[in-house]
Structure formats: C-alpha cells, structure tokens
Structure 1
Amino acid sequence: MNFTSAKWRKSSRSQGGGTECVEVAELDELRVVRDSKNAAGPVLKMDAAAWRTFVARVKRGDYDA
C-alpha cells in the first residue's frame, strides 16, 4: 500500500525532539500509524472501529509501562 498521499499528523503524546515520535494518518476507512523517525519503515494499519478501541485503551492507560 502506498502512503505518499497520506496527511500524517504527530501524536499529541509524542515527545518533542525525543525518541517517542508517533504519526497517524487517515486513509478512507483505514487508520495508519508509523514511527516518524522511520517514515519509510513499517506501519500499523487498522479500521476505524479498531482505531477507536485502541485510542480508548491508550487513554485508559492499558499500555502504560
């Protein structure tokens, strides 16, 4: 899948100038996530429903270390 036309936005939780930089783009019904330091690297793809679930779990702290 080609993501060159995607409009990426940086997560509000990303650390400015740090090592934790995540970007998200919406492509029709897909949501894609990538590491901004490796824009040509792999992306996570999910549908809109899975994205909403993921965001809710992040906000709830389910993935906190």
Structure 2
Amino acid sequence: MDLSKVVWRKASRSTVENDNCVELALATGVVAVRDSKDPEGPKLILSRSDFRRFADRLKSI
C-alpha cells in the first residue's frame, strides 16, 4: 500500500519527553500506525473497524 501521500499525526498522549510515540494516518478504508522514531520502518495497517476495536481494547486496559 502506498502511504507516501498520507498525513501522519502523533498520538494525543505523545509528549516531547516521551520516546514511546506512535503516529496514525488515515488512508482509503484503513488506518496506518507507525513508530514516530522510525518513520521509514514497518507500518501496521488495519481496517477502520479493526482499528476502532483495537483502540477500544487499549482504552480498557
């Protein structure tokens, strides 16, 4: 999947002091997730519904 034109945004809980940051991008029908320290590295690609379930699960932890 070509993600070269998507706009990445940092997670709202990311801070300057915190090295554990993820970035999200919306593409057609999917949400892409990457490590902000390694923007050229691997990306996790989830359908929007799978991402919603994933995020809801993380919030419940």
TM-score (norm 2): 0.90
CA RMSD of aligned residues (A): 1.1
Percentage of identical aligned residues: 38
Q: Which residue of 2 aligns with 1:33?
A: 33
1:1-65 equivalence runs, <5 A: 1-61=1-61
Report the number of matched residues.
61
Tell me the alpha carbon deviations over residues 32-62 of structure 1, each in whole angstroms, 9 at most, x when there is no partner.
000011000000000011011011011111x
Moved over 6 A (4+): none
Any gaps of 5 or more consecutive residues in structure 1? none
Could you say which structure has the higher helix fraction? Answer: 1
